[in-house]
Amino acid sequence: MKDLFSILGEIEILDAAGEAYAMATLVKVSGSTYRGIGARMLITAKGGATGTISGGCLEGDVRERAKQVIADGKPQLVKYETTADEDIYWGTGMGCRGVIYAFIDRPVSFAPLFRDLSKQLRQDTPAVLATVFDCSGAYETMNGQRLLFDGEKVTGGQLENDTFREAIIAKAVDAWRSGKSTAYTFKTDQGHAEVFIEFIGTPISFLVFGGGHDVRPLLHFAKQLGWRPTIIEHRPAFASKELFPEASDVQLWEDGPIPKGLRLNSRTVCVVMTHNYLTDKKILKGLLCSQARYIGMLGPTERAQQLLSEIQDEGADITEKQLEKVFSPVGLDIGADNADEIALAIIAEILAVIAGRNGGFLRERKSAIHNRPPLESSGVVDV
């Protein structure tokens, strides 16, 4: 998400300056790959770049191809594949055992679409972006054309040929509902068009309840990940944006219900660290009834159990589903012993929860690190 916002911001700057650029997007991947589908890299005519599509092994070649795309305006679909072991020894193979398809184009006419995408995401509205990347027959000129979807309607972009429009919109609706991105092949007797239907979620809303010195490392890590961190502090003297410049917002909350303006949905994660027992109880009681994905509580297990027990004694009916999202002691067990290390442990645990992982050692993982689907799983749609 951070890469995407950096790229969208760079596009605005380049468009305003009238500078040419190309964009590389991973539209299909399989096997062991450093980045997944949807990873992007923006390359300027002057050789600058924003974002990455690999761990560094592909970027040089992508830059060279982007120069050609900028020069002639012709999109390229490039396949990068792990080569034989002998190529690895000669220094020409990646050795990652994966297959990557990168679509490189110069989206000259789609500046308004990217501005709309940026606006949509900043308004906390997820998006689906459809990108045509490989065509044949009567549809060869469609490469690089795009549609933007907001869950109900098309909000930007265009397709030169209306043959596939309704079928693409139907798949965009599916992507919106499932939150998954997939490449589809749309076919007619006159040819085919491969289209990357990409679900783009909104940034993680990261709520930190408390304004002690130990929240600053949390804010820093969150900003590095492209999250939107908000401080909610019950002491007026500490509810100051000047004290927490990396916070997207700082709110004062002295008593009563949790502020209604907070984003409390499935993209919300919370850490409670006021260091005040009674305040923590009020906050936890409010968060349990919310749609927040994760609730981290500082302190030992016994403290959290006592808080939950008192909340129940006061008449609250706490369900198993609500208990599942409470993590206390907060953070992964990495031996953290200071504010920076504890913040790292907390952020890592939140990432694991979002990804549906257990936070263990990768060397002990029995299956692949990333569950990249086989290329053949991309759907074929007869239109």
What is the number of other CB atoms lying within 10 angstroms of the CB of residue 123?
Answer: 9
- Encoding tokens for residue 373? 């689907």
Place 111 in a pLDDT band, splitting at 50, 70 and 90.
confident
Beta bridge partners of 77: 103
Bond preceding residue 329 cis, omega within 30 of 0: yes
pLDDT in tens, 70-87: 999 999 999 988 644 544
Q: Where in the chain are all domains bearing CATH 3.40.50.720? A: 205-362
pLDDT for 317 beyond 80: yes
What is the value of pTM for the model shown? 0.85
Task: Give Cα 228 distance to the centre of its chain.
Answer: 12
pLDDT in tens, 205-248: 999 999 999 999 999 999 999 999 999 998 999 999 999 999 99
- State the burial class of residue 216 (Cβ atoms within 10 Å of its Cβ: 0-12, 13-18, 19+): buried
Indicate the average pLDDT of the chain: 88
pLDDT in tens, 159-201: 888 888 899 999 999 999 999 899 999 999 999 999 999 999 9
pLDDT for 129 beyond 80: yes
CA distance 205 to 165: 34
Cα distances (Å, whole numbers) of residue 314 to 159, 255, 282, 304, 305 = 59, 17, 11, 16, 14
Stretch among 61-70, 138-147, 252-261, 341-350 having the lowest mean pLDDT: 252-261
Place 375 in a pLDDT band, splitting at 50, 70 and 90.
low
- Half-sphere exposure (Cβ direction) of 212: Cα atoms closer than 13 Å: 12
* Per-residue pLDDT at 95: 53
CA distance 58 to 187: 31
* Per-residue pLDDT at 85: 53
Cα distances (Å, whole numbers) of residue 143 to 106, 136, 140, 339, 353 = 11, 10, 7, 50, 38
Give me the CATH topology for the region 205-362: Rossmann fold (3.40.50)
* Per-residue pLDDT at 87: 45
